[in-house]
Structures are given as C-alpha cells and as structure tokens.
Structure 1
Amino acid sequence: MMTIRAILPEKTLRTENVLLRPLRPSDGPAIAAGLSDYEVTRWLARVPYPYSLDEAERFLAWERAQRPVSAEQVYAIDRDGMIGLISLRDAGPEPVLGYWLAQAHWGKRYMSEAVAALVDDTFVDPDVTTIQSGVFEGNERSLAIQKRLGFEIIGRSIQHNLALGRDLAHIDTALTRARHYEFKK
C-alpha cells in the first residue's frame, strides 16, 4: 500500500537552522565527501567504506528512479549546501528512521532539529503508530539525539555493518505516537 508521503517527493521541511529537501543530482560530491569520512560511515549499517563519488552517483540515480514509486523518504539536510541525509524506510505503521551528518557539523544540534522535524511530520500521518530506529553500540551521540526526542531502548540485536564488514551489537529504539506527543508537551 502506497502512502501519501510516497507520492509527494518534492516535499521540504524547514527548521530554524536546516532545510530537509529532496536529493538533487548535484548532491553527489557532498554525499561522497561526508561518507568518505570513516568516523561517519563506521556507524552506518548499509554504507560501504571507502565511499566514492561513483557510489554516491549510483545512489542518487537509484533514489531518483525510485522516488515516484517508493514509500521510502530520503531528504538532504541542507545548510547552505548538503551536510547530511535523513530517511524513513519501510512505510506503513512502523517506519525506520536513519540519518548521518558530515563530521564538520557535529555538535551544532542540526541533526537534532532534522530528526525532530521528520518525526513531527511523520506522526501527522494517522496510520503511523511507531517510528523505529537504533544505533550501533558506542554511538552515544546518535543515541542521545533519539533519547532527547523520546525514543526508548526496546531491545538489542546484531546487525551487519557494511563499512566494517562484520556483524555488530545494535541498540534497537522506538518512539510511539503517544510517547512523542507526551514529549512535545
């Protein structure tokens, strides 16, 4: 079942400091630069390391081709240029949140703003009951963002990390609709 979100690919979300916007073909160099940093890529499950411009261009071509038919939402995080990505996979009542930010922009609360904006927008859909996410053990910065927004640890699992080429311990998190609105008060 396709959600309304899947057929609104040009949607943007604005926060005080960042803009979430659809990806552009010109984002390839920024994606490659951000993901060629091992300190970024090591925390991501589905991203190879090293990461090249060719890989970024393949990703952008795939995303452009899928955008009209996919329920996955992928946004560039933009602050006078693309500085990271944020996405929701597996549309339906329990989508999965993922994100990364170029290291030069860490510690400035840009990702907190981006995640909060996408979470707020996602819960506008009455069919969404829970947003799932998680982090590899040791990724305290990302876990702190989720906890500030009300995500709770719901379990632990093992997930494959493509950049490291091995399975790693993963902390599974979730934010229910009720908890989200409780945290917004």
Structure 2
Amino acid sequence: MTLTTSRLLLRRFNETDLAFIETLGTTPLYHQTAGFAKIQSEAQGQQILNVYQRRTESYLIITQATHEKIGLIELSERSVDPQSELYATRELGFLLLQSAWGQGYMTEAVTALLDDAFPRLQLREIWAGHYENNQPSAIFLQKMGFQYRYEVTLPFYFFEQTVEKYYLLTVSDWQRFRNK
C-alpha cells in the first residue's frame, strides 16, 4: 500500500532502501533522540531492513518533488490477538532526517497515515512516545492532538538509561483535531 500527500509519498520498504537504513543506523543523533539501532555492518542493516519490510504498517517517507528519502513512519501492533483490548490500538513511531526538520513533512505524513489507519484498521487509539531529551517530538505530538499520559524509565543496552514519555490519541480526539 502507498499513501500520497501533496508533497510526500509513503511507501512500503524494499531492497533499494538499505543505504537509507544504514544512514539512520550510523548517525548518533538518531540513536540518541529516536532509539534507532546502531548499525555496524551491512548485515545488521539488512536485518533491520528485513524487519521494516515484514511490518505491514511501516512506510518510508519520500518527497514527491525530488524523490529523496527523508524519513520513516509506522504503526506498530500492540497485540496480535484479535480478542485483546490492545488489538484496536497501535503505537506510532516516526523519524525524519535532520535536513528535513521544520518543513511540515512529518505533520503531513502523520496526518495521511492516521486518516487512513483509524478507519481501515478500526483503531480506537494510538500511543506515541519520545525520549525525554527529544523536546521537538513532545511539541509535535501535542500539536497533533496527542495527550500526555505517563513516563517510564527504560534501560538500554546500547547507551545509558533514559526516560520515555508516552502520549495517547483516541479516534474521537483525532476527529476533533481534524475538524478544527
């Protein structure tokens, strides 16, 4: 599946995206602010790309004007059991190249994804988190209608412990946000 906006194309990952994944995995900024895994070999990059290819709601963000790969966005399952209350929820993850910050791309990508996903997947809520040191993501999530709910301290294997703050967006909050 592909989603399009006035400036962006959101498409599923394919083999041509390995170099982009390696760029994210070798850039310390994306490890520190978004928790993107460190990549130290092409094999590790391929493993991460394979994960994104298997996830049904993971998309590469590409500009329509230049065809530049500028980020990724996904809705991760919180349960695979259709009987679970978590089945109708997802967790939003997103990452944008620093060179594309401040241009409204992520607002456009999230809007397209949520406008599609809420009805198609029959979701009732979407969660999103950000590391404590990533204030731009906090501001962004609130701007998109997400409401702060709680924080948790996460141990990390690749760097020191960090705090992640979590936000909630219900389908009714999204509808209100879109009707503004």
**1:22-171 equivalent positions in 2, closer than 5 A:** 22-45=12-35, 47-50=36-39, 52-64=41-53, 66-67=54-55, 72-79=56-63, 80-90=67-77, 92-125=87-120, 127-164=122-159, 166-171=160-165
Q: Kindly provide the CA deviation profile for residues 78-102 of structure 1, in whole angstroms up to 9, marking residues without a partner as x.
A: 1213221111111621101101111
How big is the shift at 1:162? Answer: 5.0
**Aligned 8 A contact 1:44 1:163 in 2:** no
Letter in 1 for 2:43: D
Q: Matched residues, percent identical?
A: 26
- Structure 1 CA distance, aligned partners of 2:39 and 2:89? 31
TM-score by length of structure 2 reads 0.84
- Structure 1 CA distance, aligned partners of 2:40 and 2:169? 31
- Structure 1 CA distance, aligned partners of 2:144 and 2:101? 17
Letter in 2 for 1:78: I
**1:11-22 equivalent positions in 2, closer than 5 A:** 11-22=1-12
For 1:42, what is the secondary structure of its paired residue?
A: helix
**Aligned 8 A contact 2:118 2:171 in 1:** yes
Letter in 2 for 1:120: D
How big is the shift at 1:51? Answer: 5.1
TM-score by length of structure 1 reads 0.82
**Aligned 8 A contact 2:62 2:69 in 1:** yes
Number of aligned residue pairs: 168
Q: Kindly provide the CA deviation profile for residues 25-74 of structure 1, in whole angstroms up to 9, marking residues without a partner as x.
A: 010101211332211221223x333554432211223444x35xxxx411
Unpaired runs of 5+ in structure 2? 79-86
- 1:172 counterpart (163, 166, 172): 166
Show structure 1 runs of 4+ deviating over 6 A: none
**More RCO (CA 8 Å, sep 6+):** 1
How big is the shift at 1:121? Answer: 1.2
**Aligned 8 A contact 2:22 2:39 in 1:** no
What is the RMSD of the two structures over their aligned residues, measured on CA atoms?
1.9
- Structure 2 CA distance, aligned partners of 1:162 and 1:107? 31
Alpha carbons of structure 1 residues 162 and 175: separation in structure 2 relative to 1, 3 Å = farther
- Structure 2 CA distance, aligned partners of 1:117 and 1:181? 13
For 1:95, what is the secondary structure of its paired residue?
A: strand
